[in-house]
Amino acid sequence: MCGASRPGHFRGVATVVTKLFNIVRPDTAFFGQKDAQQALVIRRMVADLDLDLEIVTVPTVREPDGLALSSRNVYLEPAQRRAAPVLARSLARAVEAVRSGERDVCKIRRLVGDLIRAESLAQIDYVEIYSYPGLEPVERLQGPALLALAVKFGPTRLIDNVILEG
């Protein structure tokens, strides 16, 4: 997922967040589901360091057309912004497929990828499915799984995800 295309990113995030936690000493910290991998890394770090802190993951906030709110959205050209909701639509189709009984991870990834590739302005970085919350590779859904994707619209890289209840 993001670690492969952004080496060292999560180590840096963990360092900065640890410093913040040490300064602020919060009882609870909230992280958005939109950055699911980051939220899981922080949750694991808190457990590993035995920090007296609760990590709460909050749902992704979305625009009316389904696009996940992100500071990066402002960098989208108008045509790219109109195209970007394909991410939310592809995730919704994956959820529908799983609810209809699909468990084959390759088929789900292909479904999502095909929907995104049909949008000419979208360039896929990755579409991945891992066990949730363990982030272990899976071939068939046998429990909760994280379907995560990163897609570029021009130079702007957007991420989104959904938890599939397999």
Would you list the domain boundaries of the chain?
2-58, 71-165
Could you tell me the fold of the domain covering 71-165?
Pantoate--beta-alanine Ligase; Chain: A,domain 2 (3.30.1300)
Distances (CA, A) of 62 to 1, 30, 129: 22, 17, 21
pTM of the model as a whole: 0.88
pLDDT at 13: 84
- pLDDT above 70 as % of the chain: 94
Number of CB atoms found within 10 A of residue 139's CB:
10
Residues 118 and 85: their CA atoms lie apart, in Å, by: 13
* Cα torsion 166, 1, 96, 30: sign: positive
Q: Which residues pair with 151 in a beta bridge?
A: 124, 158
pLDDT at 5: 54
Would you say residue 64 has pLDDT above 90?
yes
pLDDT at 9: 59
